[in-house]
Amino acid sequence: MILTVNLNPAVDRTCRLPVLEPGAVNRLSMAESVAGGKAVNVAKVLRRFRMPVAAVGFLGGSGGMLIGEALEKIGVECHFTQIGQETRINTNILEENGRVTEVLEPGPEISEKELEQFLKQFAGCLESCELTVMSGSLPRGVPVDIYARLIGLCHMAGSRVILDASGEALLHGVQAGPELVKPNRRELEYLAGRPLESAEEIAGAARRLLAAGVGKVIVSLGGDGLLYADSERTVLKEAKSVQVMNTVGCGDTVVAALCMSELAGEDVETALAKAVAMAAANAATPENGCFSMDTYLELL
* Catalytically annotated residues: 252
Closest of 57, 49, 50 to residue 3, by C-alpha? 57
Task: State the DSSP string of 184-220.
Answer: BHHHHHHHHTS---SHHHHHHHHHHHHHTT-SEEEEE
Question: Residue 62: CB partners within 8 Å, gap ≥ 6?
Answer: 86
Strands 53-59 and 77-78: parallel
How big is the CA angle at 289 (ends 285 and 293), to the nearest 5 degrees?
65
d(C-alpha 184, C-alpha 173), whole Å: 15
CA dihedral (254, 270, 190, 224) positive or negative: negative
Q: By C-alpha distance, which of 104, 78, 96, 79 is closest to 11?
A: 104
Comparing C-alpha atoms, which of 122, 117, 217 is closest to residue 177?
A: 217
Alpha-carbon separation of residue 15 from 28, 68, 152 (angstroms): 6, 22, 40
Nearest-CA neighbor of 243 among 85, 96, 57, 80? Answer: 96
Q: Which residues contact 18 (CB under 8 A, 6 or more apart)?
A: 29, 95, 96
Cβ contact 139:90 at 8 Å: no
Helix 146-157 and helix 112-125, axial crossing angle in degrees, nearest 10 = 30
